[in-house]
Structures are given as C-alpha cells and as structure tokens.
Homo-oligomer: A and B are copies of this chain.
Amino acid sequence: MQRGTIDLKPSDLAYVPFVSVDNMMRNVRAVGVETFLRGLADYIEQDFLRWESFDKKPRIPAHAPQGVIELMPTSDGETFGFKYVNGHPGNTSEGLQTVTGFGVLANLKTGYPVLFSEMTILTALRTAANSALAAKYLAPPRATTMAVIGNGAQSDFQCLAFKELLGITEIRAFDIEKAASLRLARNLLDSGLNVTICKTPEDAIEGAQIITTVTADRKRATILTDNMVGAGVHINAVGGDCPGKTELHRDILLRSDIFVEFPDQTHIEGEFQQLDRDHPVTELWQVYSGKAPGRTSDGQITLFDSVGFAIEDFAALRYVRDLLPKTGHFEKLDLLADPDDPRDLYGMVLRSAACDDDKAA
C-alpha cells in the first residue's frame, strides 16, 4: 500500500495465518506423521524444560449435562496461547467428534494473534507425543511391547508415537468393541507395527512392558484391576481426564510412582482424583530437567496420569507455526481490523461503504 493512496483492502497486518483441518492433514503428510510426532515431543520437552517461565492455571470449564467446553490459556511472557476444547462422550452417537478443538498463538507485546489453528487433529497428535515423551523417561529400557486398552480415535496416534520415540514394535490391542480394534489394526497395517487383537484386557497386557489405557467412558471405570498389573511396567493412563472419569483401580495407584503434568489440574481430572490431595506425585518437568528421578528400579511401577495441559498445546502451536513457512499449508484470515488510522475504526466502515457505492454506480 502506498502512502497517500486509499487502499480499501486489508493490509498484511490484518491477516492471521489459519490452519484448517484440511491444511493440518497436509502439514502432517508433508513431513510424515512420525516426524510430526517427534517434532511435537521435542517442542513439548523444550517447553517443560522452561516450566517456571510459564503462567500456569487450571483450565477454565463450562459444564453441561452432555459435556464440557474448556479454555486452556498460558503464556511464557513473550507469547500467549490458548486452546478451546470440548469433551462430549455422547457425541459419537450423533456422528460428531467426542473432542474437538482449535487454538491461537498471539504476540503478547502487541496483542495480535499470529496463528489460528484447528486442534482436533493437533490435540490427538500432541497427546500421543506427550505420552511417548513421558515414557522415554519412565518406561522400562528397551521396551518392545505395548498393550493398548481402548482402541478409539486416540489409540492410533499413541501407537505411532511410541513406535517413533521408544521403538515399540508390538501392539496388543483390546476394546470392548472388536470393530474398534480391527479399525486400529487396519490403520496400522503399513506402519511397521505388529498388532495383535486381544479378547480381554488380561490378554492384552500379557508380556507388555507398557500399558496404555485410553478408553472413552465418562464415568469411574476399572479398566485395570490391581492383580492385572505386574512389577516393572509403565502405565500410560490417558483416558481418565475429567472429574468423575477414571480408568484404574485405586490400589494400582497406591503401588505406583505417579508422574503428572500439573498437580493442581491432575488432582481434579486425572486418576489422582481417587487419592488424597497430599499423596506424593512427581512433576514431569522436574524429571526432564534432572531435578527429580524418573524410573529408578526394574520392579517399579511407573504411572503417567495424563490429563493434557495448556503448555503442551502451546508447544504444539509453536511447532505448527514454525512448520508453516516450510510447508506453506495455511490460509490467511481477515480477522483483524486494520484502518489506515488506528483511531478511525468507524471511518473504515464509512469508507468501505463508499467503496460499495462506487461499485454500484
């Protein structure tokens, strides 16, 4: 735009890069899903290593009988980010997603958004990357076999992330609906993973060094009972993620060393809600930064009580933002008013009307 002319089109200042669902899939394919998962894990680890520089709060929920909508904001003092996410377990019966989301990164110095992105796919990816990252520090060394109990939308991503980051080769899959396990096995056909469909949870955990629970019921369920869990395993508990929704018997928690993202939130949403608030847990950022031990013995049961935390979404949005210049898979959204004179918002509306008149004339 030249000085002194009136250009009624928005300038670059007015545009926010937008990653649609279609473009998110293009971005994943552009680098490959495994590389994308590794990239997310790297960014999450980077942000957990500077944990103390983040403004951390529990998510802000709006509840309904059918589910919850949550805002998850955080900031590192330079950049602000938040995710909008819902959890509605009954949605699948109406052909809708249980969990959808979108997110924003913004420059805290100007307040201007710098990225608007779908986060349904991105959340599925970051949740899996986050689980595998935690398992790098907590799972038994040289683990090859993972039980996956609950074979819904998140399970594929978990399998791929554990293959990429831990070298898992064998998946033992169980779901109360066999069709779900078949779907998982079919999707992983060309992944390099061997998938064994199991008839019971007991069967699934046979020989597994890692047990991932990722069921979707919104209630207190007991996917794993105490006698099913042997010494030395790592439990990656992903499905218990809101008040009243848990997957593990309390006795398993009492035998495990529990690792969490942010205790204030895990206490409300995770398996941890079955325990007293003062039950000892270890924060993952302390493990990553060497301030606290991860796995310390062969017989130890480690448990990552995953609920998902705002900093993981922040890291995922950072990863996508940094990827876009390489892939070009984004659009520009006319989201910000950009008048020639910032004090003249109404003038912008007036002049755009004049422009319409010209067209009509």
Q: Mark A49-92, 1 if CB is under 8 A from B, else 0.
A: 00000010100101010111101010101001010101110011
Q: Which residue of B lies closest to A97 (CB)?
A: B342
- In the complex, which residues of chain B have a beta carbon less than 8 angstroms from the beta carbon of A82? 71, 84
Interface membership of A254, Cβ < 8 A = no
Whether B345 and A156, one on each chain, are in contact in the complex, defined by CB atoms closer than 8 angstroms, is: yes
Q: Does A223 contact B (CB under 8 A)?
A: no
Assembled-state Cα–Cα distance A91/B102 (Å): 27
Chain B residue numbers with a CB within 8 Å of A62 are: 55, 73, 75, 80, 108
Please tell me if the beta carbons of A121 and B335 are within 8 angstroms of each other in the complex.
no
Judged by a CB distance under 8 angstroms, whether A110 is at the interface is yes
**Residues of chain A at interface, number, CB under 8 A:** 81
Q: Quick one: closest B residue to A8, CB to CB?
A: B22
Segment from A129-137, A230-238, A286-294, A348-356 that makes contact with B: A348-356
A20: interface (CB < 8 Å)? yes
B88 touches A100 (CB 8 A): no
Q: Which residues of B contact A338 (CB under 8 A)?
A: 21, 97
B92 touching A111 by the CB < 8 A rule?
no
Contact at B28–A349, with CB atoms within 8 Å?
yes
Given A20-B335, A97-B338, A335-B20, the answer on whether A64 and B77 have CB atoms closer than 8 Å is yes
Binary CB contact string for chain A from 105 to 139 against chain B (1 if under 8 A, 0 otherwise)? 01011111100001011001000000000000000
Whether A84 lies near B57 (C-beta < 8 A) is no
**Does A152 sit at the interface, judged by CB under 8 A?**
yes
B95–A113 CB distance below 8 A: no
With known contacts A25-B348, A346-B156, A84–B97 Cβ distance under 8 A: no
A96 on the B face (CB < 8 A):
yes
Contact A335 B102 (CB under 8 A): yes
Known A21-B337, A71-B60, A187-B350: A110·B96 in contact at CB below 8 Å:
yes
Q: Interface residues, chain A, CB within 8 Å of chain B?
A: 10, 13-14, 18, 20-22, 25-26, 28-29, 33, 55, 57, 60, 62, 64, 66-69, 71, 73, 75, 77, 80, 82, 84, 86-88, 91-92, 94-98, 100, 102, 104, 106, 108-113, 118, 120-121, 124, 152-154, 156-157, 160, 180, 183, 187, 333-339, 341-350, 352-353, 356
Chain A to chain B contacts (Cβ below 8 Å), 25 pairs: A20-B333, A20-B334, A21-B335, A29-B352, A33-B349, A62-B73, A62-B108, A69-B80, A71-B71, A82-B84, A84-B104, A84-B113, A86-B112, A88-B109, A91-B111, A97-B336, A97-B337, A97-B342, A98-B342, A120-B345, A121-B345, A152-B343, A180-B343, A183-B347, A187-B346
